[in-house]
């Protein structure tokens, strides 16, 4: 496919070349050709959308962020995964843009989707608690809620300082049921808070499902 470009460089041939590279799993070449395509041809048609998606998901530089920005500004039919990926990139390269983007779409999203997107950035503890409480009320603590709570327990447990952990801990204690992954990270939060006895109790509750993880924590 790249040979075609040597004699006849146009948008159709370039798109054919990048798709041929992508479908044969030559992701590096596909990403390079997608970047060339997006800079060479400016019409926001379906081919441009495909090139931007390939670039956003596979480029390892700020070009992925720029591609995502073009996607969210020019196309309506995007998925929650697309939004999450762009939000993650924006959080990395332009925090103000990340916040503005989330605020612009949040009113159109279900609570679960908001939680999925925010997990890819750096949400405030107020955002976390408000959305988790709302989602618990909607789902009565089903498995989706438990999985998201466990995910946010992990996010909070990795933060420096103890204030976030102490604020989310009551919600976790009151709503976390039969979720070994959640118990594991709940123990991590208690450990960071200096409450080792409670930490060990929660780790032990996860022993059957995650014996290696629990043992590594018990002997820290």
Task: List, for residues 120-165, the tens digit of each pLDDT value.
Answer: 998 888 899 999 999 999 987 777 887 888 788 778 877 766 567 6
Residue 198 near residue 160 (C-beta atoms within 8 A): no
Query: What percent of the chain is modeled with pLDDT above 90?
Result: 59
Task: Mention the CATH class of domain 123-220.
Answer: mainly alpha
Would the pTM count as exceeding 0.85? Answer: no
**Residues in contact with 131: Cβ distance below 8 Å, sequence separation at least 6, in sequence order:** 111, 114, 115, 118
Instruction: Tell me which of 52-56, 147-151, 189-193 is least confident.
Output: 189-193
- CA dist 218 and 220 (Å) reads 6
Please tell me whether residue 165 adopts helix, strand or coil conformation: helix
Indicate if the alpha-carbon torsion angle 206, 208, 209, 214 is positive or negative: positive
Q: 6 pLDDT exceeds 60?
A: no
Cα 136 to chain centroid, rounded: 21
Residue 194, sorted as left (phi over 0), alpha (psi -120 to 50) or beta, turns out to be left
Confidence bin at 46 (pLDDT 50/70/90): very high
């Amino acid at each position: 496919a790249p040979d075609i470009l040597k004699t006849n460089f146009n948008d159709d041939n370039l798109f054919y070349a990048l798709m041929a590279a992508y479908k044969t799993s030559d992701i590096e070449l596909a990403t390079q050709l997608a970047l060339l395509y997006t800079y060479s041809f400016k019409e926001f048609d379906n081919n441009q959308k495909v090139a931007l998606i390939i670039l956003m998901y596979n480029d390892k530089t700020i070009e992925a962020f720029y591609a995502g920005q073009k996607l969210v500004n020019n196309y309506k039919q995007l998925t929650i995964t697309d939004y999450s990926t762009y939000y993650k990139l924006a959080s990395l390269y332009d925090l103000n843009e990340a916040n503005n983007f989330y605020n612009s779409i949040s009113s159109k999203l279900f609570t679960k989707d908001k939680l999925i997107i925010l997990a890819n950035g750096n949400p405030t503890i107020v955002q976390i608690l408000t959305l988790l409480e709302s989602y618990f009320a909607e789902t009565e603590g089903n498995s989706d809620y438990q999985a998201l709570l466990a995910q946010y327990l992990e996010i909070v447990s990795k933060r420096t300082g103890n204030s976030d952990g102490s604020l989310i801990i009551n919600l976790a204690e009151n709503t976390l049921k039969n979720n070994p992954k959640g118990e594991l990270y709940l123990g991590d939060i208690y450990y960071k808070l200096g409450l080792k006895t409670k930490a060990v109790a929660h780790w032990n509750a996860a022993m059957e499902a995650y014996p290696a993880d629990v043992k590594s924590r018990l002997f820290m």
